[in-house]
Structure 1
Amino acid sequence: MIEQNPIMPDRRYWNVLKGIGILCVVLGHACSWAHDFVYEFHIPLFFFISGFMYSEKKYGDDPYLNVINRFKSSWIKYVIVYWIIMLLHNSLIRWGFMPIGTEYFSLRTLAEACAFVLLGTANELMGGTLWFVPALCMASVFLSFLVTISRKIEKKTGNSYLKFAFQFVVILVCSIVGCIVISILMPANIQVSLTVMPFLWIGYLLRNYGKGLEQYLSVCAAAILALAVYFISFHHSLDLIIGILYPGMYLVAFSGIYVCMALAKYISRLNRIGSLIASCGKASFWIMAVHFPLIKIIDRIWAAHIGDPDRVLYLTLPHSFDYMWPVYLLLGIGVPLLGYQLVQKIKNRGKCS
């Protein structure tokens, strides 16, 4: 454990794992019967993956490089997408896609809302699922500086054990503080970032110091843990953004992460299905950003189709019609995925030319 043996991640496997994660996100928003189950682990899974993807070799002595890369890859997209949503705010009210009583933006309130986006504290209905991005960025920043400081302690003392002891204590404190302040809305959802630090840390440890991880991913163990998580979800709920926690949530979330990892192990070996799920993983940001507005558009269209155009759709979030879940799932994943692949093809043709 003390001697570092960095494991280069298998990109296909981790894209498949991200694909499973984003499928769970859409499933949780599209299907009432799956909501409580996937909420036990689907967001912790993304933080775990982020921790695994953190490269100590690349960023260990330069945490600012990780900050820059993280903000380039995630924060900028988050801001641009959210600003577009803000610009559409008044039109969405006129088209009947916002809750009754929602106020129109003036130029001043629009500017204020756009400023809140920069701080990671935007709160617009159609962009609700993007709360996760600022929290992920901040958690990655915390991990980066933690690793850098712990490396300095190791170099100064010559004791590798102190490096991990320091990391463990800081992660423990972060999780305790996060659980205490989880119901307090902070800039960039820092309260969530603190709470989820154990997921990033374990991912980081597995990336840099784990060996033979694949051999421990058992189908039988995954099936048992999946059933355990399923039955626990009847009695306990986990929803980080609204501050719903419970004792034992970390153990349950890690159990769900193990299930997803074991599932990804076998899916990644399948040619067509594996490639499809991996593509979802690559497009996970866009699926996260687009699927919820798509679900609400489907709701509005279907309400008009059944002769109830004035239905108060937003009294039931995230969707209004339980029996429409296959449509939510298909379009919520398929539309952004096709859009992402189309953009990638255009980019590749541009590079070739």
Structure 2
Amino acid sequence: MQGKRNSTMDIVKAIGIISIVMGHCCYSIMIPALNVSVGEFVYSYHLMVFFFVAGFFYKREYHEHPEQYIGKRLLKLGGMLFLYNTVFTLLHNTLVSLKMISSTEHYSISKMISCIVQSLLMKYTEELLGACWFLPMFFIGTALFAIAFSKAEKSKKPEYWHKIICILFAAVALYANSRELTWEYWIQTSLLAVPVMYIGYFAKQKWDVLDKTVTWYGTILSAAVILGILNRMPGSIELSVNQILHPALFYPVTLLGIYFCMGLAKMLSRNPYTEKFFSMVGKESFHIMALHFLGFKIVDRIYSAVYGITDAEKIGKFPHSDYGLHISYVIAGVLIPLCLITLLRKVQKYGHFVKEM
């Protein structure tokens, strides 16, 4: 399975990030014949699928030096979040003038410096980076997994301790979230993710067998079961506000959602064109998460200009202006970040080429 990352797990990540985009612009759209919205369906799996993939690619040898794994994660996630925060903070006044954010406050230089410094602690994000609340939680979840995995592997009975660790994390996390306890950096949500990473790690060990169980009809069935549960149960899964549907149902629904993503990814990987496109989307999932709100607002700004809408509150409404452009928001939320990152890389490559001449 090592050589399948781009054609399978990157596509799983692509489905995850597209689901996040859909959740942010299509949440209230109802699925025909069911009392379930698109948002409720995609929210049942769209964050935890990233932890599953992280666990899938976690290497056993990391347990010898988990601090190296944690350090790399921190540098990558923290560094990119700091960079994006810095750019959007510097652009804040311009975005206010263009009515592309709901804020009407113009930052002073001291305010900008304060915001940039705060972002070093991963505690502050500009409005259009609102989806990045997930990144500190993701880092903490992967770090907790690395520490727990390392401790278990260094014990005399690692298999036994891996199971105990999963049960303990799940129990504490389900209790904390069901009681609506809120800790710094959404640690209560990070705790939920550790067992999911374990499932991803052990799924890789048995992948030759498990892969055969991922079928097109299983994909349809898993989606149908999730929809059936959501249709019958009050509430939904919304991890940013500690909603887990029900303590007994969170992990079953999450695993069904991950299975759905793997089945859909398997089908998409069979066509070379869809495989190539969705693999690229998966590889750039970080940037899509950071920039898809900007994509929404670009659509809003264009629509407002074409139809002569001047109401700043309407244009700047977050995360989008409710113009009913759901498909346009999804397309822009994925393609605009892809285009921006591709363009930036080409400029960097050209600059490097010019420097060498």
What is the TM-score with the length of structure 1 in the denominator?
Answer: 0.86
Q: Is the 8 A contact 2:14 2:282 kept in 1?
A: yes
Aligned to 2:70, the other structure's residue is in SS state helix
Q: CA deviation at 1:184?
A: 2.1
Q: CA deviation at 1:77?
A: 0.8
1:122-137 aligned within 5 A: 122-137=124-139
Corresponding residue to 1:15 among 10, 24, 41:
10
Deviates more, 1:317-326 or 1:117-126: 317-326
Gaps of 5+ in 2: 30-37
- Counterparts in 2 of 1:185 and 1:92: CA distance versus 1, 3 Å: farther
- Counterparts in 2 of 1:120 and 1:177: CA distance versus 1, 3 Å: farther
Which residue of structure 2 lines up, in the alignment, with residue 287 of structure 1? 288
Corresponding residue to 1:223 among 220, 224, 240:
220
1:20-99 aligned within 5 A: 20-31=15-26, 32-33=28-29, 34-57=38-61, 59-99=62-102
Q: Which amino acid aligns with 1:216?
A: T
Which residue of structure 2 lines up, in the alignment, with residue 194 of structure 1? 191
Q: Which amino acid aligns with 1:238?
A: I
CA-based RMSD: 2.6
Q: CA deviation at 1:260?
A: 0.6
1:314-333 aligned within 5 A: 317-321=318-322, 323-333=324-334
What is the number of residues matched between the two proteins?
A: 340
Q: Which amino acid aligns with 2:174?
A: I
Q: CA deviation at 1:255?
A: 0.8
Aligned to 2:260, the other structure's residue is in SS state helix
Aligned to 1:60, the other structure's residue is in SS state helix
Deviates more, 1:108-117 or 1:287-296: 108-117
For residues 293 and 93 of structure 1, what CA distance do their matches in structure 2 show?
Answer: 13
For residues 214 and 225 of structure 2, what CA distance do their matches in structure 1 show?
Answer: 17
For residues 76 and 328 of structure 2, what CA distance do their matches in structure 1 show?
Answer: 30
Q: Is the 8 A contact 1:182 1:191 kept in 2?
A: no
Which residue of structure 2 lines up, in the alignment, with residue 184 of structure 1? 182
For residues 216 and 125 of structure 2, what CA distance do their matches in structure 1 show?
Answer: 40
Q: CA deviation at 1:306?
A: 2.4
- Counterparts in 2 of 1:263 and 1:117: CA distance versus 1, 3 Å: same
- Counterparts in 2 of 1:25 and 1:99: CA distance versus 1, 3 Å: same
Q: Which amino acid aligns with 1:11?
A: R
- Counterparts in 2 of 1:322 and 1:51: CA distance versus 1, 3 Å: farther
Gaps of 5+ in 1: 1-6
Q: Which amino acid aligns with 2:218?
A: A
Aligned to 1:312, the other structure's residue is in SS state helix
1:162-181 aligned within 5 A: 162-176=160-174, 178-179=176-177
Q: Which amino acid aligns with 1:120?
A: M
For residues 196 and 67 of structure 1, what CA distance do their matches in structure 2 show?
Answer: 16
Q: Which amino acid aligns with 2:213?
A: Y
For residues 335 and 316 of structure 2, what CA distance do their matches in structure 1 show?
Answer: 26
Q: Deviations over 1:110-166 (max 9, x none)?
A: 33322331222214311101111111111111110101111111xxx3x34433233
Deviates more, 1:33-42 or 1:225-234: 225-234
Q: Is the 8 A contact 2:101 2:318 kept in 1?
A: no
For residues 136 and 207 of structure 1, what CA distance do their matches in structure 2 show?
Answer: 20
For residues 291 and 163 of structure 2, what CA distance do their matches in structure 1 show?
Answer: 41
For residues 283 and 267 of structure 1, what CA distance do their matches in structure 2 show?
Answer: 17
1:104-143 aligned within 5 A: 104-143=106-145
Q: Which amino acid aligns with 2:81?
A: Y
- Counterparts in 2 of 1:64 and 1:130: CA distance versus 1, 3 Å: same
1:295-306 aligned within 5 A: 295-306=296-307
Q: Is the 8 A contact 2:15 2:261 kept in 1?
A: yes
For residues 284 and 104 of structure 1, what CA distance do their matches in structure 2 show?
Answer: 31
Q: Which amino acid aligns with 1:40?
A: S
Q: Does 1:213 align with 2:210?
A: yes
Q: CA deviation at 1:64?
A: 0.9
Q: Which amino acid aligns with 2:134?
A: F
Q: Is the 8 A contact 2:169 2:192 kept in 1?
A: no
Which residue of structure 1 lines up, in the alignment, with residue 33 of structure 2? none
For residues 214 and 83 of structure 1, what CA distance do their matches in structure 2 show?
Answer: 42
Q: Which amino acid aligns with 2:341?
A: Y
- Counterparts in 2 of 1:230 and 1:314: CA distance versus 1, 3 Å: farther
For residues 268 and 113 of structure 1, what CA distance do their matches in structure 2 show?
Answer: 42
Q: Which amino acid aligns with 2:285?
A: S
What is the TM-score with the length of structure 2 in the denominator?
Answer: 0.86
Q: Does 1:238 align with 2:241?
A: no
Q: CA deviation at 1:344?
A: 4.7
Q: Which amino acid aligns with 1:318?
A: P
Q: Is the 8 A contact 1:182 1:192 kept in 2?
A: no
